[in-house]
Amino acid sequence: MVQSPATVDVFHAIADARRREILDVLVGGELPVGAIVEELAISQPQVSKHLRILSQVGLVRCRAVGRHRLYRLNPTCLRPLQEWVAKYEQMLNERLDRLDDYLTELQRQEDKGSNDQQGEA
């Protein structure tokens, strides 16, 4: 199977607590780097590094306004993750439903076995 690089990239992009915090801050709206630095109390180079990664996978978009660069969330890029969770849940549901049926069958057989034994005794 060929995996989607975009899926993997989004997973990796959000698999970092700081980047998750930056996304969290950007949920509130478009912001310049300085405002994110202030909000999270981490260094500007750190914030810039994370914003670069988030931009690379498309989770964050950037536009220049005068001398400022404003960053905003592009959450449609989280869709691969959402789709993965939905698929995973569906796959697990089907698998666990089969386990459920199987457990019911095992218990039915056990009951039948013990009834048969009682019958023979």
Where does this chain bind other proteins (CB under 8 A)? Answer: 1-3, 7-8, 11-12, 14-17, 20-21, 23-24, 27, 73, 75-76, 78-79, 81-82, 85, 88-89, 92-104, 106-107
The distance of closest approach from Cβ of residue 98 to other proteins in the complex, given in angstroms and rounded to an integer, is: 5
| Residue closer to other proteins (CB basis): 5 or 66 | 5
Indicate the pairing of strand 68-73 with strand 31-32: antiparallel
DSSP per position, the chain: -PPPHHHHHHHHHHSSHHHHHHHHHHHT--EEHHHHHHHHT--HHHHHHHHHHHHHTTSEEEEEETTEEEEEE-GGGGHHHHHHHHHHHHHHHHHHHHHHHHHHHHHHHHHHHHHHHHHH-
- Report the distance separating Cα 44 and Cα 42, nearest Å: 7
The distance of closest approach from Cβ of residue 77 to other proteins in the complex, given in angstroms and rounded to an integer, is: 9
The distance of closest approach from Cβ of residue 114 to other proteins in the complex, given in angstroms and rounded to an integer, is: 14
| Residue closer to other proteins (CB basis): 3 or 121 | 3
| Residue closer to other proteins (CB basis): 6 or 34 | 6
| Residue closer to other proteins (CB basis): 62 or 84 | 84
The distance of closest approach from Cβ of residue 30 to other proteins in the complex, given in angstroms and rounded to an integer, is: 14
